[in-house]
Amino acid sequence: MEIMDEPVPPHYITPKIAFVTGIEDPKNHLTTFNAQMIISGGTDAILCKMFMGSFNGTTLQWFSGIPDGQITSFSKFSKMFREHFSVNKVKSSRMYDIFGVRQKEGESLKDYLNTFSVLTVRLLTHNEEMMIAAFEQGIAMGPFIDSLIKNPIKTFFEVQERVLACIEAEEIMVRKNDNSHLRQLRPKESSRARPL
């Protein structure tokens, strides 16, 4: 019996899997899909059916054009998918790419860290010293860079911890400023007449 003809057991709990249209990175979709399926489990046939169920748009059209009997295992199916949509593969970052990241004027420390972190995840090789140097070079002048100069950091994890602490402090200050603004807007209590 063909793998696509095998029925899905009635008790099987279908995981929530995002659709893939054909413009996304196939590797990223497979990684997300595999993570969901590890939780849900299932046979090779179930993996194939659930994977096919995540197709929409171009990917569904591509699947419809696959001749019967071509899908014999999930391994083969996922390889076919990766190869067909490989043009959408996100390129890996190189170490020099992260030196091009700069904190823009008005950009929060949190947004800068997020932008920087996305690139570091895609790095082919990780070098802590280079990552820290690139992060420090890209950050705008201000209290945070002063703290890095006064207390140098040895790991990128320490950079992230220090940024998170700084973000927390900034958010507390914003809340305090918002609350003081609200206090100023409240009507003043009428002063009681002093007894003579």
Q: According to the model, what pLDDT value does residue 4 have?
A: 72
Q: According to the model, what pLDDT value does residue 192 have?
A: 53
Assessment of whether the complete model's pTM goes beyond 0.95: no
- For every residue of the chain, which 3-state class applies, written as one string? CCHHHCCCCCCCCCCCCCCECCCCCHHHHHHHHHHHHHHHCCCHHHHHHHHHCCECCHHHHHHHCCCCCCCCCHHHHHHHHHHHCHHHCCCCECHHHHCCCCCCCCCCHHHHHHHHHHHHHCECCCCHHHHHHHHHHHCCCCHHHHHHHHCCCCCHHHHHHHHHHHHHHHHHHHHHHHHHHHHHHCCCCCCCCCCC
pLDDT tens across the length of the chain (196 residues) = 467 777 777 788 778 888 999 888 898 899 989 888 888 888 888 899 989 999 999 999 999 999 988 999 999 999 999 999 988 887 766 777 788 889 998 888 888 888 888 888 777 677 888 888 888 889 888 778 888 888 888 888 888 888 888 878 777 877 887 776 555 555 555 455 555 5
Domains defined for the chain, CATH in brackets: 3-88 (no CATH), 95-185 (1.10.1200)
Q: According to the model, what pLDDT value does residue 1 have?
A: 46
